[in-house]
Structure 1
Amino acid sequence: MAHREELYLVWLFLAGLPLIYVLDFVFKCLFGTRRRRKYRRVRRKGISALKSMSWQDFEHYCAEYFLEQGYKVKMMGLGGADGGMDLLLKKGGKTTLVQCKHWKSKVGVMTVREMYGVMYAHQFDAVAIVALTGFTKDARSWVGNKPIKLIAGQDIVDKR
């Protein structure tokens, strides 16, 4: 009798497995579509929409931006100490570290230098910093030929 019950439980598990995968797929499709619609809506509204969102939403927005650019995106910190790592991007065998700065002031050279150090410490190929309000002149000039991309908030929304 116990053997029959075990077989029944195994059968239930195996029969239910495809259902779990289907439900997971449907949930991911619906959730992902809603997030992409929100991304497109914010992108059309411009920089003011970025300024009014929380830093967490800004990080999600940046993730959607990079997904649209063809990167595989992994969210990192969100809610805790992330060591300067908000997103990790993969494309063409290269890994790029991304720091998202939802600041009211421009990002300065110290932050750019810190991120360059984090990039080397973790042996990433490049670093990108997305700053809502842009970068100081010193920060932009310090980059030179280093594998650092500075992206202002205005660059990730539709131009008007």
Structure 2
Amino acid sequence: MARRKDGVLDDLLGIAKMLPWWSDVGIALITYFWLHNVASNEVALAVQPGKMGEFLGSQMSKTFATIGQYLLPFVFSLGAVLSFFDRKKREHLLSETKQRGKQNVLLDMSWREFEMLVGEVFRQRGFTVVEIGGNGPDGGVDLVLKKNGETHLVQCKQWKAYKVGVEVVRELYGVMAAKGAVSGYVVTSGVYTNEAKAFANGRNIELIDGSKLTQMIQGVKLSNPITTNIVNVAKNEVTCPKCGSAMVKRNARRGANNAGQAFFGCS
């Protein structure tokens, strides 16, 4: 699903959020200096017959530039801030899921978190990821991947109650042909029907179920993983950062300086 856009500025902000933050900063600077230069130019009064259209066009350009020289840089600067924190949120979500290491963690997510997680997994695998949501005209496609000049499409199905059927896979295959995508992925937190698996067999479609997605997450090498233990405040438990199991309090038996000292160990 994707939220409804309310106007041009909302569309621009949505585009800015999808771009890397440093790209937004560059666009903000370029648009400011370009539009500021246009806004600073004087518009000559139309004194010759037949020049009124040219005069009005120049005047409209100057008016747009006068407003846009501040508005567009503001939008892209805001987009840079949102993009930066959005990226950090995705990295944190992937790192936390990797540490918990259990498939049922995927089932506890919202559909939006699941889509963000899948996008970050592919981003860590070297793809450029554009999130478009599944509510548009592209047949339920949630992510568009780019790598080596080739396009790949992804549908995310965070379904808890039932299997992903062949209709979803057929739909993606049709969009792949229309968009010229070289491959497609259907990613779910659950499983697939036998009909869906049979249809994908022999086609450039990979079906990634919850178990395989968990393996892909565990295979990601994070540059800034979360190193602190996860504490369950309600149960007063410390969770192992590697496997997600509860840690228990123990006493060291060896070591001249450590004997008798309490520590937490994985159960």
TM category, shorter: 0.7 to 0.9
Q: CA deviation at 1:25?
A: 5.9
How many Å separate the matches in 1 of 2:147 and 2:136?
Answer: 26
What are the Cα deviations for residues 44-79 of structure 1, in whole angstroms up to 9, with x where unaligned?
A: 32211110111111111110110111100000026x
Q: CA RMSD in A?
A: 2.8
Match of 2:93 in 1: 38
How far apart, CA to CA, are the structure 2 residues paired with 1:99 and 1:58?
11
Could you tell me which runs of 5 or more consecutive residues in structure 1 were left unpaired when the two chains were aligned. Answer: 1-5, 7-12
Q: Which residue of 2 aligns with 1:147?
A: 204
Pair 1:23–1:130, CA change in 2 (3 A): closer
Tell me the residue number matched to 2:142.
86
Check the 8 A contact 1:43/1:156 in 2, yes or no.
no
Q: How many residues align?
A: 147
Q: Residue 41 of structure 1 aligns to which amino acid in structure 2?
A: E
Q: Which has the larger radius of gyration?
A: 2
Q: Partners in 2 of 1:114 and 1:24 — Cα distance?
A: 33
Q: Which has the higher contact order (CA 8 A, sep 6+)?
A: 1
2:5 maps to none
Q: CA deviation at 1:26?
A: 6.7
Q: Distance in 2 between matches of 1:96 and 1:107?
A: 20
Instruction: Indicate conservation of the 8 Å contact 2:123/2:129, yes or no.
Output: yes
Task: List aligned pairs for 1:9-158, cutoff 5 A.
Answer: 28-45=83-100, 46-77=102-133, 80-81=135-136, 83-104=139-160, 105-157=162-214, 158=218
> After TM superposition, where is structure 1 displaced by more than 3 Å over at least 4 residues in a row?
20-31
Q: Percent identity?
A: 34
Q: Where does the alignment leave 5 or more consecutive residues of structure 2 unmatched?
A: 1-39, 41-68, 220-242, 244-267
TM-score, L = length of structure 2: 0.48
TM score, norm. by length of structure 1: 0.76
Which amino acid in 1 is paired with 2:182? Answer: D
Give distance in 2, aligned partners of 1:86 and 1:95. Answer: 13
Question: What is the CA deviation profile of residues 102-156 of structure 1, one whole-angstrom value per residue up to 9, with x for unaligned ones?
Answer: 1121111121111111111222111110011021122112222211111112222
